[in-house]
Structure 1
Amino acid sequence: MKTLGETLKDARNKINLILRKVSAQVDIDQSLISKFEKNERKPTKDQLIRLASFYNLSEKDLIISWYSEKIAEDLKYTEATTEILKVAEEKINYYKTHNNGK
């Protein structure tokens, strides 16, 4: 399973572009993109969408990876991870049915 950073770096390498060129095209500082690729920092959702579009990657897949890494990072040292995720899923379903998905 690849990290989000590895996915972004692989996409850049596949089209053989240097960070500076990507940076100019997506209007994200090249040092930030470098940190994303090294998994030292997470992009914002907006930055992720711009990168997905530029690299012609699935926006949905990148967002899933982005959210799952955020959740995994928060829960990696928690013993009740499975229970937390189960309750969170139940709450999401509750919110969707009681707030029209908002």
Structure 2
Amino acid sequence: MNYLGTRLRELREEKELLLRQLAATLEIDTALLSKIERGDRRANRDLVEKAGIALSAKKDELIILWLADKIDDAIEGEPLAEQALKLIESKKQ
């Protein structure tokens, strides 16, 4: 899944920004931003925070989406992933 990239694209398009404009603001190249939006690459936390500022987005929303992508990547294809997530959730309560 690509939770963060999809949301970044939505926010960028709502602000009517071109990829190159946002990439320049984030000080990354346009190709990298495009890959992040498509889910071909993952952003680091610092970039997520910068993007949140640049797009006037809620920091927590973007960090949650970033973490969801990381978790999804880590458990992809694992047959016991759902049980492991339930275990973690039960320990947090």
* Map of 2:38 onto structure 1: 38
What RMSD in Å do the two structures reach over aligned CA positions? 1.7
Give secondary structure in 2 for the equivalent of 1:41.
coil
* Map of 1:81 onto structure 2: 81
- Superposition TM-score, scaled by structure 2 size: 0.84
Give the number of equivalent residue pairs.
Answer: 90
Per-residue deviation at 1:8? 0.6
Q: Which has the larger radius of gyration?
A: 1
* Map of 2:62 onto structure 1: 62
Unaligned runs of 5+ in 1: 94-102
- Superposition TM-score, scaled by structure 1 size: 0.77
Per-residue deviation at 1:87? 4.1
CA–CA separation in structure 2 for the residues paired with 1:74 and 1:24: 30
Asked which structure has the greater RCO (Cα within 8 Å, sep 6+), the reply is: 2
CA–CA separation in structure 1 for the residues paired with 2:26 and 2:74: 28
Identity over aligned residues, as a percent?
Answer: 28
